[in-house]
Structures are given as C-alpha cells and as structure tokens.
Chain A
Amino acid sequence: MVKRGKLEIIKDILKIIQENRNSIKPTPLLRKSKLSSLRFKEYYIELADKNLIKEITGKEREKFIILTEKGFKFLEKYKTIVNFIDEFEL
C-alpha cells in the first residue's frame, strides 16, 4: 500500500466529514480515516488549529465534527494545490 502524504490525509479526513453530510462523531471519523489514534489526534488538533474543522455539541451533548468554510475551500482547491506542488517540484 502506498503511503499517503500529509496533504492527502488531510483531504481524506475532510472528505469523510463532507460525505457524511458535514457532521460526524469523532469515533467513526477515526475509524474511517484509517489512522492510528495517536496520528488521528495529531491531525485532528492540526485541522482544528488551522480552522479547517470545528467541533459542535448536539442536542444530547454529543460531539460532532463539521467542516468550516475554509475546510470546504480546501477540498475545492485540493487538486489545484497538488498540481501546483507537482508543477514547481516543491
């Protein structure tokens, strides 16, 4: 199996949230992301710090993760970012 790059992992996590009608609990997100819990936690913190995702609390006080506007923008521009990096060998 080919090792995923950091940007690809970020895209995959955001895509999972988006495909889940932009609302998912942390545990299914961890499972679907196919990362170890330690790595998932690192990415989770990073994505929240970069304001790509945010946590909201439901009616029954359960946690949900949703995409921010920036998160949607990242998914929209992901191909452009990857093509740019490839073109300029960055």
Chain B
Amino acid sequence: MRPPLEFLMPPQIGAELIYSFVIIVCSLMVYYGTKELYELSSYKGIKYFRLAFLFFAVAYFFRYSIRFILSFFNIGTIHEFLPMSLGPMGPLTLFLFMYFSSMAVFYLLYSVMWKRWNGNSKMIYIFHAIAIIISVVSIISRRSDVLLGINILFLILISFVYYIAHKDSKTKKKGHNLYAVYMLLFVFWILNIIDILIPSFLQQFQLLIYLTSSGIFLTILYKVLKKVGN
C-alpha cells in the first residue's frame, strides 16, 4: 500500500508542482512588477506584454491540473478522460489550458507587433478565434500526428511573424538578445503543450524541457526587474 502522502502527491507530481510553481510565480511577478509602468503610461505594448504573462500563469495552473488528473486517476492521456465516463473535467481543463496557452503566445506576439499592425485591435479577436479553434481541435482530435502537426504549424507561424518583425526592427542593436529569448520561449512553450497532449513523445527530454523553460522565464523575470528597478 502506498504511504498517504505518496497517494496524494506521487513523486512526479511533486516535481511538476515545483516546476509549475516556479513558472507561475515568475509570470505573476512580471505581471505585477510592470503594473505601475502600465498605469502611468497606458502604453499598449506594455498592456499586451503583461497580459501574456498573466495568461502564461493561468495556463500553467491548468497544465498542472492536467498532470494531477492524469496521475490521480492513473490514466495515460487526457483524451482518455471522456465526458461521458468521468464528467467534463478533463476536456474542460484541456480546453482552458490550450486556450490560455495559445492566447499567452499571441499576446506576446501582439505586444511586439502592434505598432507594425497599426494598433489594429481586430487582430486580437482573430487571435481569440484561432485560440478557440486550436483548443476545440485539441479536445476532438485524438490522433498524435494531427496534434503534433497543429502545434508545429503554430510554432512555424509565430516564429515566422516574429522573425520578420525582428529583421525590420529599428531597435535592433548589439546586446539586444531578446529575440533569442522570445524564440526559445515559443519553442519550449510548444514543447510543453506537446508534452501534455502526447505524453509519450517527449518523455525522455522532460527534465531538460522543465529546466530550460524555467531558465527562460527566470531570464525574462530578471530582465524585467532590472529594467523596472524593483
């Protein structure tokens, strides 16, 4: 028989909890650390940058919830958690995770692109629509290749848009290595999603993904706090 603590929190869930905690705290510190700058300036770029990290925090909460559900009910993938058999908790959590994940990445992209798109707020509605479509497809489709394809396509699209933006950037200068940080964030974010949707696919690299993702969020937090002066 498992000891009581191990029943409530198996070792892999403990590691997952620490990982999620680090990312959620980093994201919320970025969100609250930039609150004053936004309140004073009402600058759109800062607004969407902050929203991106708020959504990352929420997405990671649901990511942890999915991991907990899988471990607690001892099931292989979230898709085995059917609405008819065990209630809507599984699909709903997956929907929310995918929606907040996609919107976090879109908000981050929009925060660097809004000037080039002339502050067109219609783009935000388009992003919401795409995020909802991705979330619904993730629930309906159970084929690993479809889920993998969608996420790789998503990554290619975001990377391409951001690459074009960076290439034309007027602020591009020596020592500005944020491009690399953002690109790594996009790549590892998609790997985090794939890790949830197709757990067996990246099992061997899980620790590496966790450590690198934490490192990226800590780097961004460090840069934010250094600039904000807190």
> Count of chain B residues with Cβ under 8 Å from any Cβ of A?
23
Q: How far is the CB of A24 from chain B (nearest CB, A)?
A: 21
Alpha-carbon separation in the docked complex, A74 to B40 (Å): 6
The residue of chain A having its C-beta at the shortest distance from the C-beta of B46 within the complex is A90
The residue of chain A having its C-beta at the shortest distance from the C-beta of B45 within the complex is A90
Alpha-carbon separation in the docked complex, A27 to B223 (Å): 42
Do A88 and B40 touch across chains, with their CB atoms under 8 A apart?
no
A80, A83, A84: most-surrounded residue (chain B CB, <10 A): A84
Chain B residues in 8 Å Cβ range of A80 = 37, 227-229
Contact of A77 among B36, B45, B112 (CB under 8 A): B36
Contact of A74 among B41, B48, B166 (CB under 8 A): B41
Alpha-carbon separation in the docked complex, A1 to B118 (Å): 22
Judge whether B111 is part of the interface by a CB distance below 8 angstroms: yes
Do B228 and A84 touch across chains, with their CB atoms under 8 A apart?
yes
Judge whether B97 is part of the interface by a CB distance below 8 angstroms: no
1/0 per position for A46-58, CB-CB distance to B under 8 A?
A: 0000100000000
1/0 per position for A62-90, CB-CB distance to B under 8 A?
A: 00000000100110010011011111111
A-B contact count (CB 8 A): 55
Alpha-carbon separation in the docked complex, A90 to B108 (Å): 9
Question: Do A50 and B42 form a contact, CB below 8 Å, given A89-B178, A90-B111?
Answer: yes
Chain B residues in 8 Å Cβ range of A89 = 112, 166, 169, 171, 176, 178
Contact of A81 among B37, B112, B166, B176 (CB under 8 A): B37
Judge whether A7 is part of the interface by a CB distance below 8 angstroms: yes
Q: Name A1-41 residues within 8 Å CB distance of B.
A: 7
Q: How far is the CB of A83 from chain B (nearest CB, A)?
A: 6
Do A83 and B45 touch across chains, with their CB atoms under 8 A apart?
no
1/0 per position for B83-116, CB-CB distance to A under 8 A?
A: 0000000000000000000000000000110000
Q: How far is the CB of B119 from chain A (nearest CB, A)?
A: 11
Chain A residues in 8 Å Cβ range of B46 = 81, 84-85, 90
A: which residues have CB within 8 A of B? 7, 50, 70, 73-74, 77, 80-81, 83-90
9 closest A-B pairs (Cβ-Cβ)?
A90-B45, A84-B227, A74-B40, A81-B41, A89-B112, A87-B227, A81-B37, A90-B111, A89-B171
